[in-house]
Chains A and B, each alone.
Chain A
Amino acid sequence: MRVQLTASGLGVRAVAAPPKQRRTFPRLRSRALNTSATTAIIFAAFSSAFFWAIGQSPIRLFAALYDGVLGSGFAFSETLVKAAPILLCSLATALPARVGLISVGGEGQLAIGAIGGTALVLSAGDRLGWLTLPAMLLSAALAGAAYGAVPGLLRAQLRVNETISTLLLNYIAAPCVDYLVYGRWKDPDSLGWPSTIAFPDAARLPTYFDTRIHLGLFLGLFAVLAAWFFATRTRSGLILDLLRSSPELMQRAGVSWARRTVVLLALGGACAGIAGIAEASVIEGRLQSGVGAGAGYSGFLVAFLARGRLLAILPCAWIVASLAAAGDNLQLSAGLPSSIVYVLQGFLFAAALIAQHRSAEAAA
């Protein structure tokens, strides 16, 4: 299927695609692989240089990475546990990117989603029975969506740059969690530790395979597949592509950019919100300060690595999650501070930007 502007210029309709040119697909795929390989090489060079500069052997880093990706069954499952919120949060960036927006709001939307879900758990207790779980997820998604809609409205109505507003909103969301867990939601029996009471069993996401792998991972997989189907296989999704490439033309054809901006940011926020409540419900068992621990920013990185190819989010999330797992590993084995992960993520980001330029230049 292919989208074409009709002669009147007022509508969009699907017409049958002309016969496929056979060679485009393999060439595209090999270019994507090439970019990934270049990214990996540049990243390896940066991080080796950094490890060498701080007096550590780079081998340690790659051993830890290997462990996280292909090591023991336990390490593998823990990588997937880390991948779950990253997968969901990547959509907070990848969905608005369909109309050319750069949103970094996953971190704040995750926190607000966690608040939304926790509010339901605390007010309903276990009176809702089996309904607690879906109601909690829905409440978290709605809270995240509302928080995601704010930068959307600011952008659509007041032309406020969405990158800066989403980042500022992240700085507003974190103290809101603190306000609740240090204040009105604080568990009186927690001996000064700022957190809510432990979630009742009815509000715990199910875990599988005797590991900590939980429902959030499958929700994330489903959300990415659904986003891919929507963006590449439906008319509305293809309209977004046109809106991104020629916004003025589409506006003239009566397609509202403003409405889609708000909706996509809200949908992304809903995904990040689910990530937030999943982390609180399964991983921590309660809402506490600093929920999510950077998954929002990792999700942003994943969306950027995937470069608009929604299915590529899956391997990219796996890689970024194993980087985070490698960071934990290095903390234990080499005594490096946990902040090393941010340095490595930054290097990966820079490497991807360089590799993407090289492949664009090679294609030209």
Chain B
Amino acid sequence: MIEILYGLLIGFVPAMIRSATPLLWALLGETITQRAGIINLGTEGQMLVGAATAFGVAANTNNPWLGLASGALAGSALSIGHAVLCLRYRANQFASGLSVWMIGFGLSAYLGSSFVGQSIDGFAPLSAVLGVSIPLLGDLTPTIVLAWLASALIAVFMDRTRPGLALRATGESPSAARTAGIPVTFVQTSAILAGGLLSGIGGAALSIDYAQTWAEGMSQGRGLVAVGLVIVARWSPLWAVPAALLFGAAEVMSLRMQAAGATVSAHLLHTLPYVVSLVVFM
């Protein structure tokens, strides 16, 4: 019993942080999008396209930074589809997001089919670059630290700047915002594209930093979980951090319990992050 508990806890915090980071990027993106009054279920597809593109570029150029940038662009490019469907063609936001999800899933599987089974080195941990390591947090990688920075920056942007105010006003009441002279469609389009960019980074963080490989459908519902957790985090980029860590904790717990020889089946433990998401979503 003690051994199982010890096996669960050793290195738990670093593992939780690593597993939460791809989701945190997607959560931040979806926070911006939802603050503008748009729900984007396409986040899942954008993460996948970001992950596949980033992995392909990183593997071919041996440069994870180039991979990260191209993943971000790919996610943003796919999100144009959502913007066009729900803003230009006034489609239902859930339906439009799901169509982007389907296209993204298929495109990423097509793009990624040639590098299934490959693996890359990814980013060097910061401790190796800077020569210092922080106790308890383990080996932090650039995507982790950048995600925390981004969450603080986005919080400042939304609460302390004029464009941030325009974004929130648009989400609160598009018609009032329009009366106040805010270009509503422009704001919403930018918010969707920013969400696509951040979820693309999330996908890239998943494939080149967390897993260091590519697998079809590898985001496994993280984009969907992000859409739900944004609401749990009360649309706050700062609360997004603990919300993502909660998912990370559930995922690490499910992996650790298998490794520690728990009697519950590994397959049932796989459902844990989704059950947790569903429960907090209530």
Contact = CB atoms under 8 A, between A and B. Distances in A.
A58 B96 CA distance: 25
Interface string B85-107: 10001111011101111111111
Nearest to A304: B95
Interface string B62-92: 0000000000000000000100010001111
A67 B42 CA distance: 32
Given A304-B95, A353-B99, A343 B278 contact: no
Contacts of A147: none
A169 to B, nearest CB: 7
Chain A interface residue number, banded:
35 or more
Which bucket holds chain B's interface residue count? 35 or more
A40 interface: no
Contacts of A167: 41, 221, 224
A346 interface: yes
A178 interface: yes
A102 B94 contact: yes
B34 interface: no
Interface string B174-218: 000000000000000000000000000000000000000000100
A194 to B, nearest CB: 10
Interface string B245-271: 000000000000000000001011011
Contacts, number: 119
Contacts of B90: 357
A175 interface: yes
B268 A346 contact: no
A163 interface: yes
Given A342-B102, A350-B99, A337 B113 contact: yes
A167 B277 CA distance: 12
Given A179-B265, A297-B102, A343 B110 contact: yes
A96 B255 CA distance: 36
Nearest to A164: B228
21 contacts: A54-B110, A163-B94, A168-B277, A168-B281, A172-B275, A175-B267, A175-B268, A178-B270, A182-B265, A339-B110, A339-B113, A339-B216, A340-B106, A343-B110, A345-B102, A346-B100, A346-B102, A346-B104, A356-B91, A357-B89, A357-B91
Given A160-B282, A175-B271, A349-B102, 14 more contacts: A176-B271, A178-B270, A179-B267, A342-B103, A342-B109, A343-B102, A343-B103, A343-B110, A346-B101, A346-B104, A349-B99, A350-B99, A353-B89, A354-B91
9 tightest Cβ-Cβ pairs between the two chains A and B: A342-B106, A339-B109, A346-B103, A343-B106, A346-B102, A179-B267, A349-B99, A353-B91, A357-B89
Interface of A: 54, 102, 104, 154, 158, 160-161, 163-165, 167-169, 171-172, 175-176, 178-179, 182-183, 297, 300-301, 304, 336-337, 339-347, 349-350, 353-354, 356-358
